[in-house]
Structure 1
Amino acid sequence: MTDLPWYTSFAPEQGTLPPRSWTADSDAARLPLGGDWAFRLSPAADAADTSFAAPGFDAGGWRTVAVPGHWVLQGKDGEFGGPAYTNVLYPFPVDPPFVPDENPTGDHLRRFDLPDGWPAGGGAVLRFDGVESCARVWLNGTELGWFKGSRLAHEFAVGELLRERDNVLAVRVHQWSSGSYLEDQDQWWLPGIFRDVTLLHRPEGAPGDFFVHASYDHRTGTGDLRVDCDVPGRVRVPELGLDVAAGESVTVPVEPWSAEVPRLYEGELTAGGERIGLRIGFRSVYVEDGVLKANGRRILFRGVNRHEFHPETGRAVDLETLRADVELMKRHNINAVRTSHYPPHPAFLDLCDSYGLWVIDEGDLETHGFEELGWRGNPVDDERWTPALLDRAARLVERDKNHPSVVLWSLGNECGSGAGLGAMARWIRDRDPSRPVHYEGDRSCRDVDVYSRMYPPHAEVAEIGRREDEGPEHRRALPFILCEYAHAMGNGPGGLSEYQRLFETYERCQGGFVWEWIDHGLVHPVHGYGYGGDFGEELHDGNFVCDGLLFPDRTPSPGLVEYKKVIEPVRIEPGERPGTVAVTNLHDVADLSGLAFGWEFLADGRLVGAGTLDVPPLSAGERAEVPLPAAPEVPEGAEPVWTVRAVLAADAPWAPAGHEVAWGQVPAAPATAPSVRSVAVPPVAEGGRIAVGPAALDARTGAPLELGGLPVTGFGLDVWRAPTDNDEGAPWQPDTRYGPLWRELGLHRMRHRTDAVEVTDGGVTVRVRVAPAARDIGLAVTYRWTSDGTVTHLGVDVRPEGAWPVPLPRLGVRLGLPAVLDRVEWYGGGPGEAYPDTRAAARLGRWESTVAGLQTPYVRPQENGARIDTRWLELTGGGTGLRVAGDPSFWFTARRWTGVELDAAAHRPDLVPGDTLWLNLDHALHGIGSQSCGPGVLPEYRLEAAPSAFAFTFTALGAAAAESGA
């Protein structure tokens, strides 16, 4: 294979400089080369010659593309091709290191002049921070070399080739290369120069590299600092009074860096005529007694996996978006990021240093597609690929080694096992022994310092926490993290609270990283946001790319709101002594001096009183029971509850003072309501209708025709919901993929049979059987309608018949109302959606919304929008309305489309509001789980078919009240 084209050779690069540490803070001149570049697209790697690299080449007829950018996201009407999404499968034949002749190739040209004042003398470096999948580079007609490794930095020495005017930079980029076999990373395939291109002046004698060693001894409170540099220089840290030679070690009293208290010391390295800014964070990260620690304290990761993504520009992400991500993470109590599955834009790590996030920095490596082949030919177990693997390890470590936020190096993701991984681990430990090594894909854990898993169920996490798991003995001595868990695809993930309790119970279980940060929905002219298959791909994995805690526009999903509540670093709950609230500091490091506490007292959701709460500045891990003030008086029969909030006491870089960090609610004993017994009015049958107070029923079917003066359609028991992505489940768990099982059973097309309509002086009893076609199971339903002449009461009794093989999606009644009812107010859990295993963030109160505002805009429409623990609900609009109260509390959803229409929709624009408001009043709902990739619904949240009884009271409002005579 000596005659392989360069882009299919095993070699990772040619002509590039050795990798080195990167900083944006240097006084050396730099020239950003982003902007509009001339562009030509060819269908194959050899479809055009290299004459375009010559200085005199006329590219006047070429189109232009933005750099940084991906050419498939530019142009008109797909003229430059389109994006493609696959999770595991390679979108080309697996025949390493070869790629197909159909290899879209983008030729890029950029002409530039050196700016006035560009320093004379010295050298210059041309730097590429990211090109997919490979690049061959020329400057002023001279070939510089080539490289692979899409998310890795590469530099060329160009000082002797530069001219003051009319420099011509030419870059040829192939979509596919041998490097593509190492980059099968569950994301869009997006070719192009997608990160910065920069020309850097290098003063004569400037350092090639430097390494900041800054450890912390928690026993003495001192930090050890040594800055290694490959040329002589001096290190100054004014705040510490340091002025020492590069390479000299010093020990000084310091404050340590952590994700909670990101203490940085500003300094500088001067060497070879260059001043380099240093941002030094003193911290030590290590495994001790089977626990991962930083600065002597156990770390608990409350993390997310983060692909770099923007819905319009793909992986070309600007600084504003990077900052928005970090600030959103901090505001949602996230303290850690795994850079799945490649090193991030270097500016992202600067932000993590400043704002405070623990980072698992991951290598640009995944070979997941070989799993489909039984791992035959896997590059990590083929010595021909080892130089490329070591190059990727070196470019990861050398670029990012001076960031205090980086606490673990990750070899890569889903590569199986092989000797190449061991070679990478050995190189990393030799170069940087100060950080543990992570990799999940080899259960033997022979090359790593932590035991890492994806999506283990809760019971297994508990077993691992007790160190009772089977496997190599040395593995049981390692700390345990979940590098991926709680798959945030569509509605969900469920079960977060139960995971968090395990992390807090077992010292070995040190948290995890939710998959993942953001939905990768790309802007689409028809669908709003497109996913796999929406851009003409032959091979794709559908909406599996939309599995984030943020929607594509970076709006937090209900899943992120839930996660914030679950991982909040302060727990507020009822105290053991009456009249107290228990406050526990769950931080790893920080005390509570930066927070202010306040209370609110609510009666039936209305604010009765408020004030501040004196909470001591508890140290990390401490708990206190804090007295609440005397409860204000409340109206007789009202439901009182305390809400206690912890907010920022002062502005933080990521949120203003008053930002809510944590909250809890403490019930207070309700006043005893006087016993009221209403007298039923007899129903009146006339002309095919039965009047039950302000309600009217169909005399034949017993179904309501009017409630509170409002017309009603489509009433009946409802057990169906449009399956969520988690209901649809993962193919490898067929027995609990309830979405397909529900359809197979026929729950989406239940049939209703009226067996009896019985009218007595006390009311109307309607007996119905609800069952799926072709099955001998069913639900015997009894509706009891009564009225005191003002309100209508409905009692529902449900008894399952036969052996139900699966849980029910939901259990309640559905009815259609006029769409003019557009305003919603309710007293119950809110403000956002909640389900049985995603309810931590729902707080009791009075809430308001429009019907449209109740909908959660998942990229692929599915069941959404349920509100929990509803005591009462009011729907109003057009001067009329209806109030629904529950006995007990209930769940509700309100939509202007049916469940069938919701289930049929593939994208948001498919849902067109109709002229009926469909209201579901549910006694119970099936949980959500995480089975789109992770565990299913926990047993306690499965809605098994069982005898049930529940009731509702309907009251007319506004004009409807007048029409009904109320």
Structure 2
Amino acid sequence: MSFPSSQPDWSNLKVLHRNTLPPRAHFFSYTSEDKALSFDREQSEYLCLNGVWKFHHDASPYEAPSFDDEDPRMWSNIQVPGMWQLQGYGRPLYSNVNYPFPVNTPHVPCLNETGSYWRHFDIPNQWREQQIRLRFEGVDSAFHVWVNGQEVGYSQGSRNASEFDITSFLDPSRTDNTLAVRVYMFCDGSYIERQDQWLLSGIFRDVYLVAFPWAAITDFSAIPQLDNTLSKATLRTRVTVQGEDEVPVTIKLFHPDGALLHHGHSTPSNSHELAVEDDRLKLWSAEDPVLYTLLISYHGRSISQRVGFRCIDQRGSNFCVNGKPIILYGVNRHDHHHFFGRAVPYDAMRADIVLMKRSNINAVRCSHQPNDPRFYDLCDELGLYVMAEADLEAHGFLTIEKPKVPDQHKLPRFEIMIKAFALSSKWVSDNPDWREAYLDRAIQLVERFKNHASIIMWSLGNEASYGQNLADMYHWVKEADPSRLVHYEGDREAETADLYSVMYTPPSELKKLVSKRKDRPLIQCEFGHAMGNGPGGLKDYIDVFRSEKLLQGGFIWEWSNHGLVKKEGNQEYYAYGGDFGDWPNDRDFVLDGLVWSDHTENPGLTEYKKVIEPVTVCQVGKKLRIESHHDFSSLNYLSATWYLASESGNTDPIEWCLPQIDPGSSVLVEPPIPLDPVAGETWLTISFRLRSDKGWALKGHEVAFSQVQLPSDRDMPLGRPLASAQSLTVKKTGTRLFMSTPSFGYFFSFDLIRGDLRWTAAGSEMFVKGPELGLYRTLTQNDKGSRGDGGEWKRLLVGAAKMHVQHVSWNIAENGSIILEASVRVAPPVLEWACNATLAYTITATSVQIDTRGSFSGEHPKMIPRLGLSLSLPKHFNRAVWFGRGPGESYRDKKEAARFGLWSADLKELQTMYEWPQEHGNRSDVRWVRLLSDQSAVGLEARMPSPFNFSLRKHSIDELDGAQHPHELSEGAENFLNLDYTQHGVGTGSCGPPPFEQYCLKAGDFEFSTGFSVVEKGQ
């Protein structure tokens, strides 16, 4: 006797599937053509099994109850689709790279959480004489199936479909059949499903029955082909049937307007070509997703498919869609929902795609696994280019192999990773034992989604090193579908890939790569890592994409934060790795998206939308150049308006008639007003909006905007006049210097030890603490990343550096103002480096000017987070009005989406509550800012001679630095104002490059001035 008595299916490379039907295209069978043309699966021969099932959870498959020995009706309830860890069983686990079990390929431990599902179902009477198929669209990670107590089969491949013929397991006399499913958290396939996402288990996509007659269509392909002129198209169809081969198949093709274009017949299993040669041919693209309708009928049943006529090929060294090289303005998208994990509802999928389209995104990489089939339908319909990726990732072996890379201390990080991936290949990618498992994932992907117009390339997977198994996948895919490109980033030399692909390569290096590799295009399958406050430098990427012919865009990492809603008492928050007691975990590395965990827009998406907008305007002398970045659509679908933005506000928008601007062209036009000098700073703002409704936005939606600064005949003043009707008296008491007017309406107190200046004006306290010379900001997640500067800042204790007063002198000027000069040293404990500075104050009753100059000494940091003044204000100063970039936050390398204008925001609107608290809420290129209060008759205005930054926050830098979730922050009695001369960029250092050199704040000599003045309400 032995235990286990045999090798279990879930740890056996020789058993990938048992008794499953061959993979096929995703379609439904209808009893009439009219029903098929509805595309409503509820009208098809389909029975949905979603809903409430009975469920039993166990720590091991060997402890799971027998479906025969127990009454499943006594078990708990669970929702299908769903993940059991989000319904009270087990715990979610987030790990980016590491395997959560001991590595012992292909085996997984006996302690392997198991979910047993059970339900009953009835077969419609009209199905009794037909083949009944049971289909699972997604089960994580492997499962066995029983019908009426008899084992039907087994399958694995979490995000692939599995289909079983259960006809022989049904008893025609029974009206109550039973279905049992046993799901295993891990299987041998888990070694090649180590994607950067939550580990969640269960039946997470649709489960349903379909009825096929014994003579029925079982699969089909519909591949469009275009001639060189793009005016003639052929749709090559091949139909596979079961039953009577001699019965012809009827094929119809309908124009988008509903007109019948083709009506023909074909013999099953033979190719049938439909020619479309008239002037009405309309091509599919992401810009104009025109879809025809294909209807195939056989033996009284019909199936339908939306078809887009388009071609993908390589012309010269570029890949082209419909004969034109395109740029992919894409995103990586995992299936994620903040309540349901990977069990994403249809409406949430559609909302994602609509938001992408509204944000000028034209491409999506389904990272790193196949999506719900309805997602591809939506991409066909709404218009996105899709990189469809196989369910394959195996970077968990890096943890084992990376320490084995020789001479690591001599190598840059990138080369260490390349060598570690090469060492990792022996585990699975270059191991012949895994060949069938690899091929299975390619076959499942292509066969299921081969008929989608939106899919322009297949991807073999992600970060699985490179080896013969991946090469074999490529050859199978190219033979099965030569009409599309094949991508795989791990094949760095593109030995078996149709294009070069890289990750997180800075623009300067991209230019070098394409100058050396001119035989095929290059894309970035991941760039612009959007973790926390970022990504920075996106405009630099888009500029190089648009200037280098062989750079054809890329995909931002990634679309969404993956926080899961967790409730503790009355508090709900977005949880990440470790919040559920899971280990190993990678903490908040799962919060790296352009949208929040609830899939609403965050500042990263706002910035991306701006830099990839399809129309741009620039000034050329006294004229404007309007440039279209579309490949296929003119700008006729847009209307334009213009207005002027200045310190006094915005003028009313006025319509502007655009000339004909063809795709990819530019036109030089007269501006709507002469570009002549004006008094003060004024920006001509042009807004481009939809003329009519689209499937993804309503008429009036803003697609793009541009601003051109009019010439100005006036420099920006530092502040209001320093002269005051009331002179100040000065008195030193102990370690404080008191300054006041005779009427005591204006009062200052300067702490000679701490350097704090307290200011009361017209009975209202203006400064609670400060101004203090500040070098530090709350670290962003990009600062903390492996390539960020936060590591050096922590090592050199920049966050602990405080201002220490060395010497103070003062005198009264002839105009009655106080001249006070403080020599200070900003330095941390323990270390010897310092920032040595002089703060020269000119103080009147109603204004303060601070001239700051300084330099660094000792072994100081090469870069510093910020350089400016920090103040604490009374809590009632809770609104800001400013002229500069707005309305949202902006930074040195993340500010294109913030337009110049006069803005107003309350304290709440000035915050950006990242799901891991960090630096946020900065406004850049500010000319002046006024801090206002509902409880005071006066406010505080701040200016600098050159554009500056400000932020007004509820929480101090230290409080933000110490918190790991927003709900851990509590408001105090003060608000915190930063007025920064300059800041370090935000970059993408959590996984990509740190801020590019032009956005870095290097420690060096500095000098800046800040003017404060009292303003009355209404000014």
Match of 2:470 in 1: 421
Bigger shift: residues 434-443 or 700-709:
700-709
Measure, in 2, the Cα distance between the counterparts of 1:172 and 1:238. 44
Bigger shift: residues 778-787 or 226-235:
778-787
Is the 1:690–1:699 Cα contact (8 Å) retained in structure 2?
no
| 1:375-432 per-position Cα deviation (integer Å, ceiling 9, x unaligned) | 1642221212111211111110011000000010111111111111111111111111
Q: Does 1:171 align with 2:181?
A: yes
Q: Which amino acid aligns with 1:508?
A: L
Q: Which amino acid aligns with 1:700?
A: L
Measure, in 1, the Cα distance between the counterparts of 2:841 and 2:355. 50
Is the 1:601–1:631 Cα contact (8 Å) retained in structure 2?
no
Match of 1:388 in 2: 437
| 1:46-81 per-position Cα deviation (integer Å, ceiling 9, x unaligned) | 1134334x8xx5223210110000111002xxxx11
Measure, in 1, the Cα distance between the counterparts of 2:846 and 2:252. 82
> Unaligned stretches of 5+ in structure 1?
470-475
Measure, in 1, the Cα distance between the counterparts of 2:928 and 2:74. 67
Measure, in 1, the Cα distance between the counterparts of 2:311 and 2:747. 71
C-alpha displacement of 1:465: 2.5
| Paired residue total | 938
Measure, in 2, the Cα distance between the counterparts of 1:546 and 1:59. 39
Match of 1:544 in 2: 589
Match of 2:303 in 1: 276
Q: Which amino acid aligns with 1:894?
A: L
Measure, in 2, the Cα distance between the counterparts of 1:660 and 1:923. 32
Match of 2:565 in 1: 523
Cα distance change, pair 136–400 in 1 and its aligned pair in 2 (3 A): same
Measure, in 1, the Cα distance between the counterparts of 2:804 and 2:880. 32
Is the 2:881–2:931 Cα contact (8 Å) retained in structure 1?
yes
Measure, in 2, the Cα distance between the counterparts of 1:613 and 1:159. 66
Is the 2:64–2:114 Cα contact (8 Å) retained in structure 1?
no
TM-score by length of 1: 0.94
Q: Does 1:196 align with 2:206?
A: yes
Q: Does 1:82 align with 2:134?
A: no
Is the 1:28–1:202 Cα contact (8 Å) retained in structure 2?
no
C-alpha displacement of 1:286: 1.4
Match of 2:415 in 1: none
Task: Name the SS for the 1:379 alignment partner.
Answer: coil
Q: Does 1:749 align with 2:800?
A: yes
Is the 1:608–1:632 Cα contact (8 Å) retained in structure 2?
no
Structure 2 counterparts to residues 439-478 of structure 1, below 5 A: 439-466=488-515, 468=516, 476-478=518-520
**Which one of 750, 764, 767 corresponds to residue 712 of structure 1?**
767
Measure, in 2, the Cα distance between the counterparts of 1:789 and 1:44. 76
**Which one of 569, 572, 577 corresponds to residue 617 of structure 2?**
572
Structure 2 counterparts to residues 41-80 of structure 1, below 5 A: 41-52=57-68, 58-75=71-88, 80=89
| 1:225-256 per-position Cα deviation (integer Å, ceiling 9, x unaligned) | 12210134111113352012243213213111
Match of 1:133 in 2: 141
**Which one of 287, 308, 313 corresponds to residue 314 of structure 2?**
287
Measure, in 1, the Cα distance between the counterparts of 2:16 and 2:851. 72
Structure 2 counterparts to residues 177-256 of structure 1, below 5 A: 177-217=187-227, 219-231=229-241, 232-239=248-255, 241-246=261-266, 247-253=271-277, 254-256=281-283
Measure, in 1, the Cα distance between the counterparts of 2:944 and 2:126. 75
Is the 1:29–1:118 Cα contact (8 Å) retained in structure 2?
no
State the percentage of identical aligned residues: 38
Is the 2:628–2:662 Cα contact (8 Å) retained in structure 1?
yes
> Unaligned stretches of 5+ in structure 2?
29-38, 242-247, 402-423, 814-818
Match of 1:494 in 2: 536
Is the 2:67–2:180 Cα contact (8 Å) retained in structure 1?
no
Match of 1:16 in 2: 20
C-alpha displacement of 1:759: 1.9
C-alpha displacement of 1:672: 4.0
Measure, in 2, the Cα distance between the counterparts of 1:334 and 1:322. 15
Measure, in 2, the Cα distance between the counterparts of 1:679 and 1:851. 32
Q: Does 1:351 align with 2:360?
A: no
C-alpha displacement of 1:892: 0.9
Cα distance change, pair 919–153 in 1 and its aligned pair in 2 (3 A): same
Measure, in 1, the Cα distance between the counterparts of 2:885 and 2:50. 49
C-alpha displacement of 1:946: 2.3
C-alpha displacement of 1:531: 0.5
Match of 1:472 in 2: none
Q: Which amino acid aligns with 1:859?
A: E
Match of 1:703 in 2: 756
C-alpha displacement of 1:679: 3.8
Is the 2:779–2:919 Cα contact (8 Å) retained in structure 1?
yes
Task: Name the SS for the 1:412 alignment partner.
Answer: coil
Q: Which amino acid aligns with 1:910?
A: E
Q: Which amino acid aligns with 2:490?
A: G
C-alpha displacement of 1:362: 0.2
Task: Name the SS for the 2:473 alignment partner.
Answer: helix
Measure, in 1, the Cα distance between the counterparts of 2:652 and 2:574. 45
Measure, in 2, the Cα distance between the counterparts of 1:936 and 1:796. 28
| 1:149-187 per-position Cα deviation (integer Å, ceiling 9, x unaligned) | 000001001223335621101000010111111100011
Cα distance change, pair 884–784 in 1 and its aligned pair in 2 (3 A): same
Q: Does 1:4 align with 2:62?
A: no
Bigger shift: residues 331-340 or 743-752:
743-752
Cα distance change, pair 743–238 in 1 and its aligned pair in 2 (3 A): closer
Structure 2 counterparts to residues 798-877 of structure 1, below 5 A: 798-802=854-858, 804-877=860-933
TM-score by length of 2: 0.89
Is the 2:220–2:238 Cα contact (8 Å) retained in structure 1?
yes
Task: Name the SS for the 1:230 alignment partner.
Answer: strand
**Which one of 561, 580, 604 corresponds to residue 559 of structure 1?**
604
Measure, in 2, the Cα distance between the counterparts of 1:696 and 1:183. 65
Is the 1:84–1:532 Cα contact (8 Å) retained in structure 2?
yes
Cα distance change, pair 761–112 in 1 and its aligned pair in 2 (3 A): same
Structure 2 counterparts to residues 699-778 of structure 1, below 5 A: 700-701=752-753, 702-706=755-759, 708=761, 709-715=764-770, 716-730=772-786, 733=787, 737-762=788-813, 763-778=819-834
Task: Name the SS for the 1:208 alignment partner.
Answer: strand
Match of 2:962 in 1: 904
Q: Does 1:927 align with 2:943?
A: no
Superposition RMSD in Å: 2.2
Measure, in 2, the Cα distance between the counterparts of 1:220 and 1:522. 47
Q: Does 1:332 align with 2:385?
A: no
Q: Which amino acid aligns with 2:943?
A: A
Q: Which amino acid aligns with 1:245?
A: H
Cα distance change, pair 633–408 in 1 and its aligned pair in 2 (3 A): closer
| 1:825-880 per-position Cα deviation (integer Å, ceiling 9, x unaligned) | 22111111111111111111122222122121211111111001112222222322
Match of 1:689 in 2: 737
Cα distance change, pair 91–674 in 1 and its aligned pair in 2 (3 A): closer
Match of 1:613 in 2: 656
C-alpha displacement of 1:631: 5.5
Match of 1:650 in 2: 692
**Which one of 664, 668, 672 corresponds to residue 629 of structure 1?**
672
Q: Which amino acid aligns with 2:250?
A: R
Is the 2:758–2:769 Cα contact (8 Å) retained in structure 1?
no
Match of 1:473 in 2: none
Measure, in 2, the Cα distance between the counterparts of 1:577 and 1:322. 46
C-alpha displacement of 1:208: 1.1
Q: Which amino acid aligns with 1:212?
A: A
